[in-house]
Structure 1
């Protein structure tokens, strides 16, 4: 008997079972997570092949005419298949005959949801089995279920010297558990001991199945924790049956990129580092210790490059402290996710776009989920994958700056510039191809690189308008998560249209966005300068201008508001004159720097780009300078911040710089002289050049090899700490390495480059100030 339920889709799957396609979803309900198998599933694709060229009498295949057209303006047919294997064979047959196929790569489990406008929330009807754990013959539609997620924070500890698993820590609210390998008896609360790895891993499987987490979070949890656990499962011959119904998980590493992926039926794994980057958060270092320090003012219990030795000692000698260390990492991740509402952000993105809950990125998938159903309703199918050479579009507008020290610098920003351009100028994949085919000028809006857009056929501007309205509503309601999620989605549209991994990519589309941005910034600059402003810099969607130094802060704010209103009026009038279109462009004025520094390119007179410092509301702001970059030392950041405090507040810089260098030479800043830089690829891939952090990483691995330890940096994608000693670059492994620092290097490469530009603008010679210090060396 059929029963209906409401729930939230946790994971989605398709596969051939006994020659037939099986599409099923794991859906979280009030009664638990259940498996929902779709009735009469099919997979399909479109083609411009005529029906007579298609197999029409093969069981499991059905070919039909449609009213849909391709972007080449051909009428297309649809081929429906009852298995993935049949579809693969039919696609190969069609291509062999020289015809095109469309949308053949869309997974059937994704298409089923996309065409029914199902995102995460779902209602379904199906026949439950005796246990109620599986529903068959099911159908889904959009629902309104709000899940109460059971979230686990997971962290493992390993033996570096033996490459073995030591423990698995889990926290979930008040629940705190550590499973640890030890032969010593222990009576420690929440600590469960096992005599070997096999017993621990078997217990972990039972623990997961019993307590059924929906979402597992961690720090590099896929790339390290799950990857290591998977290796130990395989080494010990254990099947990792951690799915909701005992399905084995799948952890794999992509050969080309080295990226690790994990799939667990009915569960979601979210990595903290990835979630931060997708959410637009930037840190000098994404290490758990650094992020937790910045966000929570809390640290790991053990830090430093040699902490693995202390971890192994605690495991042998102080099991309670070892367990506390393991759990602290879990707790820190929990608190970071909670503070930034990262799970709420991810669920909101799913609710808006229909991407899988386990997919943190997915800009292309988000776009296609939103665009393709609208395209189909308009009578068209997505374009075939093009083999045309990728042509990059011009980047954002960046003008040469006018270097100097300023007062009263006003910054104007276009609100959501690229989405506003899409909406105002009808930039759209379908509108472009229709404009090419129709020999008429009526309704056309000019683009760039030969493009034009037929406004009556434009889909994307309407989608942007709906999202923009939803964002304004979210702002009024105080729903910051929804507002931010919509912003991420809208801002991704330009990147998607300019990416060769998107089926809708065309150079004319992305160029019609960025080059229009260039034009709008240029026109706005002209309108401002006609009214007495001096534009000293422009970047993508922003213009920096100066007015009279004599204006009070209140007068400067009012002048900025007046100038904003004038430019917005000019934009509206120009759009009407240009193509009889309504302007959805909005210039905003939000920032006034009472003091401002625009540097030159180092060693030149030409103004720099994307680098400046300013004082606004009593707060120092750095962009692109050493204080905001991760590849300079903490010493450089300290020096730059303190130097600009002296510059902007008119303090004695000469005395400050001289005292700073004296303190440096006296060893007061030794712990701030450590460089930290990320390896972006495996060490073996650095063949043409050997940057300092690469040399340091190789030296560190050589030291580990002599100690009988496995390499730490060989695979890359790790942050390397190093210093400059009198012998040159060496890895920073312990404080003993700080005994022979090359202070001259830090003066020449960290202090002088920062001070020289500022002193030059003030007609001062920093070398004269530092000469007595050099004599001390």
Structure 2
């Protein structure tokens, strides 16, 4: 009996079962999460091999002509297989015969959803089993149902000394519970006690199945918590049945990047750190303690590099305090997710692009989900993967600056510059290919220049067969509507998608990559900023700096009303852009220069030790707010003292105060030990410690000291996987790891004066006719 339901896709999977493809969609419905098996489950690819060269009697394989063409303007054959094994055998056969394959790597479930323009919400009809848990022979279409997610914040505690699981903590909107391996007596209803790891894990699996969470959230959730649980399940011989209806999860790692991925049938695992980066949030440290203190003004109950020892002591001696620590971490993560609406952001990305819910990255997947259905409708298949050498496109426009101290600097930037270039100049993979054919066979009666838009590196673009410009236009219109109704999450999600298009086209991990595409975006950006600079200077402005999509401008006349003059200059330039686009190639301009702000005071430094102006580094004050870009105050690898010193220094300078006395006082207080706790360096290891063989910078040397000490104590190494922040300081004997304030002894104050104070002060002191060498010699003579 067929049953119809509405729901939202939680996870999607394809596997081979008894020689056939089983494509399964786990869909959350108002009644619970069910498994949906669509009908006609086939694996598909295309090839330029002649139909007669392909087998026509192989059971489970069907080859037929299609209405589509390749980017080589050749007709392609559709190859459909009923099993993944046959799919791969057919790909190998075609390649051995010297022909190309197209779209062979698109997973069956992704193609099924993409071709039907299904993203998250669905309607489906299928034959239900007796428990209404599985629906077979299903047909699925896009829907509009919005779920109320059951979200669990998960955190584990482990024993560093024995590498075993101590507890699993869970918090959600209606429960707080901790599963703990312990022999301590305790009557707390939130503590579930177990005599060993195996009993705990089996009970936790049953608990997950009974209460059926939709989304697990956590901090480094997949790379640590889930990966550790999975590892212990393997060691203890437990089947990791954490999916809906007891299906196994799959925790895997990428061999070359050290990243972990979780595939859980009917559930999603979302990591807080990854979603913060998707949301555009930046922190000096992404540790839970640091982020929660900044976002919530609250933190972990224990913190510091050696807190594992206290955790193990609490586990042995004070079970309530141990559980409180475990659940506090769960609570912090839940509160961060709720305050920043991180799940709402991720669901919005799914609704816009159709990426899998668990995919926090996925710019290429998002692009293909949006582009491929439009490409097929236009009559083409995606190009084959190329073996050509990667050619990087030129980066964004960055002009040398004119260093100095300024008043009333106006900042202009182009609104969504790269998407606007795509839209205005018809930059598009299909348009580039069809322009090549059009050049050989122009439409009669129409000048070729009226059919093509010039690009760069020899590229042209067909005005009539461009997909991306209309796609960008639809997204831009949707973003304006989202802004109008105050939907900031949707507006930001659309911005992410539009801005990713350039990066995708310029990346060789995308099948549509071509140097002409990305270069036609960035080099057009160079041209536009150069023309804008010229137009501004014709109107009496002086451009002192430009970067990618922004120009920093001063006017020769005194600015009685800088806001009004900035708005007038903006309007003039936008009129120039419209005229130029029309004269250049009869194009409608979608370029828009915005007047962003006025810096009442502004500083552009020189390159250190040179007279030439620097790039991507400046400081300014706008409406009372200090802004630092690229300078020490904005960099996490400088000490807190240096960042605080620079902020205070520019506060004085921008208030027209002489900074010399402040600089001298800072040096005196530093030498007297007044800033000791602000002298700790912090820097992230970008790769495993063992891979640093030749050049070993200070943070690597500090990490090596820590791991050597741990190895001597028989403890797991701290930095053998990389991507971990190292804290260290300088004694007179050299680099020393930092663990607590008690470590700060015998500090090398002269190192900090030379490396932290002097470079910052010397960037500004020439404007006061002196330098740090002179100031320090004065202090020495006074002593």
Matches within 5 A, 1:703-718: 703-718=709-724
Structure 2 distance, partners of 1:715, 1:97, is 43
1:471 is aligned to: 479
Q: 1:600: how far off?
A: 0.7
Q: 1:707: how far off?
A: 2.2
| Aligned: 1:594 with 2:600 | yes
2:547 is aligned to: 539
Structure 2 distance, partners of 1:150, 1:559, is 53
1:577 is aligned to: 583
1:422 is aligned to: 422
2:445 is aligned to: none
| C-alpha contact 1:68 1:381 (8 A) present in aligned 2 | yes
Structure 2 distance, partners of 1:564, 1:40, is 57
| C-alpha contact 2:542 2:553 (8 A) present in aligned 1 | yes
- Give unmatched runs, 5+ long, in structure 1: none
Structure 2 distance, partners of 1:278, 1:773, is 49
What SS is found at the alignment partner of 2:573?
helix
1:543-578 alpha-carbon deviations (Å, 9 max, x no partner): 0011247323xx111110000000000000000000
Structure 2 distance, partners of 1:250, 1:76, is 36
1:454 is aligned to: 462
Structure 2 distance, partners of 1:537, 1:496, is 28
What SS is found at the alignment partner of 1:68?
strand
1:765 is aligned to: 771
Range with bigger deviation, 110-119 or 759-768: 759-768
| C-alpha contact 2:540 2:556 (8 A) present in aligned 1 | no
* CA spacing shift, 1:666–1:289, aligned 2, 3 Å: same
Matches within 5 A, 1:351-390: 351-390=351-390
| C-alpha contact 1:243 1:264 (8 A) present in aligned 2 | yes
1:646 is aligned to: 652
Structure 2 distance, partners of 1:643, 1:294, is 24
What RMSD over aligned residues (CA atoms) do the two structures have, in Å? 1.3
Runs (4+) off by over 4 Å: 772-777
2:111 is aligned to: 111
Structure 2 distance, partners of 1:316, 1:603, is 58
Structure 2 distance, partners of 1:389, 1:652, is 56
What SS is found at the alignment partner of 2:611?
coil
Q: 1:364: how far off?
A: 0.4
| Aligned: 1:503 with 2:511 | yes
Range with bigger deviation, 447-456 or 13-22: 13-22
| C-alpha contact 2:690 2:720 (8 A) present in aligned 1 | yes
| C-alpha contact 1:154 1:170 (8 A) present in aligned 2 | yes
| C-alpha contact 1:661 1:773 (8 A) present in aligned 2 | no
* CA spacing shift, 1:573–1:125, aligned 2, 3 Å: same
1:407 is aligned to: 407
Q: 1:277: how far off?
A: 1.1
1:700-737 alpha-carbon deviations (Å, 9 max, x no partner): 01111222212111121111111111110011123332
User: Under a length normalisation based on structure 1, what TM-score does the superposition of the two structures give?
Assistant: 0.98
Structure 2 distance, partners of 1:635, 1:187, is 49
Matches within 5 A, 1:603-682: 603-682=609-688
| Aligned: 1:196 with 2:196 | yes
1:743 is aligned to: 749
Structure 2 distance, partners of 1:771, 1:549, is 42
| C-alpha contact 2:184 2:319 (8 A) present in aligned 1 | no
* CA spacing shift, 1:255–1:320, aligned 2, 3 Å: same
Matches within 5 A, 1:229-268: 229-268=229-268
| C-alpha contact 1:408 1:548 (8 A) present in aligned 2 | no
| C-alpha contact 1:306 1:734 (8 A) present in aligned 2 | no
Q: 1:762: how far off?
A: 2.8
What SS is found at the alignment partner of 2:616?
coil
Q: 1:776: how far off?
A: 9.5
| C-alpha contact 2:300 2:329 (8 A) present in aligned 1 | yes
Structure 1 distance, partners of 2:192, 2:775, is 63
What SS is found at the alignment partner of 1:303?
coil
Q: 1:27: how far off?
A: 0.1
1:516-542 alpha-carbon deviations (Å, 9 max, x no partner): 000000000000011111100000000
Find the partner of 1:700 among 702, 706, 712.
706
Find the partner of 2:740 among 734, 752, 755.
734
Matches within 5 A, 1:426-445: 426-438=426-438, 439=440, 440=442, 441=448, 442-445=450-453
What SS is found at the alignment partner of 1:508?
helix
Structure 2 distance, partners of 1:25, 1:429, is 32
Structure 1 distance, partners of 2:666, 2:266, is 58
What SS is found at the alignment partner of 2:711?
helix
